[in-house]
Structure 1
Amino acid sequence: MKLRIEDNSLRLRLSAEEVEQFATVGRVAALVPLGPAAADSLTYALERAETEEFRVTYGAGALTVKVPATLANHWTSTDQNGLSATLMVAENQPLKILIEKDLDCLH
């Protein structure tokens, strides 16, 4: 899974295998080591959640994007390429979320 952070946006791109894992397990995650200790890392994940809205959580080196189950199930079972949402994380601070299938990816 690829994570792109730019200005006020997060973009996740999943390979076909990761889309399948997300469809069956409801979660896909990646770990980026940023230093020698285990605590010196960033984990980013995509989770299916029983919510009606997209949510983003961050804490202790973990960034998680939570997608409503109904949207996640439709996305993984159709040829729909992407999901998007804009969250207001603070007053006048929108965060754009884009989740895409990276089906041409060969890694």
Structure 2
Amino acid sequence: MKLRIEDNSLRLRLSEAEVRQFAETGRVAATVALGPTAADRLTYALERAESAEFRISHGAGAITVKVPAALARHWTSSDQNGLSATLLVAPDQPLKILVEKDLDCRH
């Protein structure tokens, strides 16, 4: 899974295998080592949630994007390439989220 952070936006791109894993388990995650200890890691994840809205959680070296279950099921079982949402994380501070299938990815 690839994570791109730019200005006030997060973009997750999942390989075909990661889309299948997300469909089967409701979660896919990746970790980046930013230093020598476990505390120096950044984990980013995509989770299926029972909420009706996109959500994001962060803290303690982790960022998790939570996608409504109905949208997640449709996205993983169709030709739809992406999901997007804009969350108001503070007054006048939107965060754009884009989750995409990276089906041409072969690594």
Q: Give 1:4 shift.
A: 0.1
Q: Does 1:103 align with 2:103?
A: yes
Aligned length: 107
Is the aligned partner of 1:81 residue 2:81? yes
TM-score normalized by structure 2? 1.00
Residue segments in structure 1 that go unaligned for 5+ positions in a row:
none
Measured in 1, the distance between the counterparts of 2:82 and 2:10 equals 13
Matched residue, 1:67: 67
| CA–CA separation in structure 2 for the residues paired with 1:25 and 1:33 | 24
Secondary structure (helix, strand or coil) at the match of 1:39 reads helix
2:93 corresponds in structure 1 to 93
Q: Secondary structure of the residue that 1:94 maps to in structure 2? A: strand
Secondary structure (helix, strand or coil) at the match of 1:30 reads strand
What SS does the corresponding residue of 2:17 show, helix, strand or coil?
A: helix
Residues 15-73 of structure 1: per-residue CA shift (max 9 Å, x gap): 00000000000000000000011110100000000000000000100000000000000
SS across alignment from 2:38: coil
Between the aligned residues of both structures, percent identity stands at 79
Structure 1 stretches of 4+ moved >3 Å: none
Name structure 2 gaps, 5 residues minimum.
none
Give, in whole Å, the separation in 2 of the partners of 1:36 and 1:98. 31
| 1:35-50 correspondence to structure 2 within 5 Å | 35-50=35-50
Q: CA deviation at 1:6?
A: 0.1
Residue 34 (str. 1) matches residue 64 (str. 2): no
